[in-house]
Amino acid sequence: MSPKPTGRISGNDLILTRSFHAPIADVWLSVTKSENTALWFGRWEGEAAPGKTVRLQLLHDKGQPWANVAIEECEAPRRLVVAMKDDYGDWRMELTFTQTDDTTELRLVQRLSDVKLAGDVGPGWEYYLDMLVAAREGKPLPSFDDYYPSQKAYYLDGA
């Protein structure tokens, strides 16, 4: 059964959120520490700082390709803006973290060059963010086949 898509489109922005019953610093480390990102997205190497570029290995993609990720802005533990370019296009993501009481919300915004890309990109981010949730909870990782192509129409219809 395919997970229900949760993202939305606003203009050319693809917006997805996930909430965690955890302190902001803990969620921040899940997204910024190489040992943690390796559990759900990919491991990275290099000096991580604004204006620097790290190399990211996408461990859950076919062939486990490497990509350069430019760190444009970093305001730990509240905001991270990164950009990368690969065979599929240019990617610029803004991640914001907000803690209210004992819950931290992670908000991912990706500006799409063409809103029609949401049909492919949206299901991918749903998958990766659910991988983050599963990794943090020690649960089995989901399968990309449960997200794509079943969620494509949701995003093409304007989410």
User: Per-residue pLDDT tens for 28-72?
Assistant: 999 999 999 999 999 999 999 999 999 999 888 888 999 999 999
In a domain? residue 50: yes
Confidence of residue 1 (pLDDT cuts 50, 70, 90): low
Please give the average per-residue pLDDT across 68-90, as a whole number.
92
Q: What is the CATH number of the domain that holds 115?
A: 3.30.530.20
Asked whether 11 and 155 are in contact (CB, 8 A), the reply is no
Give the model's confidence band at 137: pLDDT under 50 very low, under 70 low, under 90 confident, else very high. Answer: very high
The pTM of this model reads 0.94
The count of other CB atoms within 10 Å of the CB of residue 103 is: 14
DSSP states along 103-147: EEEEEEEEE-SSGGGHHHHHHHHHHHHHHHHHHHHTPPPPPGGGT
In a domain, 79, yes or no: yes
d(CA 90, CA 86): 7
Q: Is residue 88 part of a domain?
A: yes
Q: What's the average model confidence in pLDDT over 105-120? A: 95
- Helix, strand or coil, per DSSP, at residue 7: coil
Q: 126 in a domain, yes or no?
A: yes
Residue type for 62, please?
K
Residue 89: inside a domain, yes or no?
yes
Q: Name which of 58-67, 83-92, 128-137 the model is least confident about.
A: 83-92
Residue 29 structural domain = 8-156
pLDDT, position 85:
82
Average the pLDDT over each of 53-57, 63-67, 105-109, 151-155 and give the range with the smallest value. 63-67
Q: Can you read off the two tokens belonging to residue 6?
A: 């949760």
How many folded domains does the chain comprise? 1
Question: Which DSSP state fits 61?
Answer: S
Helix (H, G, I), strand (E, B) or coil at 85: strand
Q: Is 129 domain-assigned?
A: yes
Burial of 72 (0-12, 13-18, 19+ CB in 10 A): middle
**2 domain residue, yes or no:** no
Q: Can you read off the two tokens belonging to residue 106?
A: 């992670």
pLDDT, position 23: 98
